[in-house]
Chain A
């Protein structure tokens, strides 16, 4: 990592985005005491005794790791012992992630989705204040992914701070309040999702007479560059535009739009753009 510095606000859902090899897992590994940083420091809740503080944090890193010859409940008992949490919490947690009916089966018999859910259960076992999820939907089918998204939203609503490392950009967009974008060890952006990119987006316009349309639009003060794709003109907007107003203006100048649409910016486009 190249001089990475982050501050995670309490109660936020902080997404960490980056292509493979950008350092997401390394960063999470460092704050979880698995990987030693060459220099620098971090603190949990303002304290530096990481080992004790980690007992109040739930984390999944890369893959769910459990003892294959033990069943789900026994594996959670081990986690409960380490985190100094009462065994009473185990069954409700299994219920919450939908594994209560399989809690007596050995871990090696679980499907990938179940393994992932057990990992999330283990992370939630101590009612953590901070939840760290590294690719939590890894290997899940669409139903599983939806379930996890639901769970994350629920947990976020209860005030837990969530650190989410993910490839799934639209998930991050839907769920996260802040985002940090990494690439090969460097941080390209960090801050609120809403101001991550030009939130104005583009306007798609079309008319019977494209040349006229283009001329009119080029003169518009709030419109920047224009690109033509087939029958559509994609116009970058430089400040707020009211579509109804634009429509009226164009009609008054004898250019009647047959198609007019505001395209909101997508995190994915921004992401692909800056990680090029």
Chain B
């Protein structure tokens, strides 16, 4: 019953957004902006730029929500717009595909976000954000958002094999960082006892 009510509430917001009601648009923004901000951050990484992208995401959402079909989940639809806008932003700002391997990961930066649980969501989010641009783009699209390598290759104008290799490298780097993070946490705990 609660679910039904929730569904109806969201449906109601969507319907009101379709009519251009400003209050409904604000409700939608309030509800989804933090989630979509994380999606943006995982690709764009810089907060200011991510907000810029998020702004254009919502403008696009409000503009085209009239064409949203009932059977399409709202969140998935918005996430897809978010990914596309983030990629567009990167294309405008810089050529990401020429520098797939050119950025060095700074472990010192990673350490600044030291927290108790190395698997804490917040920490993982930061780790992904700090991956090299190409790694995090492919990793976010495939591992988090569920895009296929074929889709990624098409959207990023690259070979499918490149997408696969970027994903593997990103995964390896993240695993390495988590391992190191675990070691540091354990070491710090040991020395503090």
User: Do A and B originate from a single complex?
Assistant: no
* B contact residues vs A (CB 8 Å cutoff): none
* A contact residues vs B (CB 8 Å cutoff): none
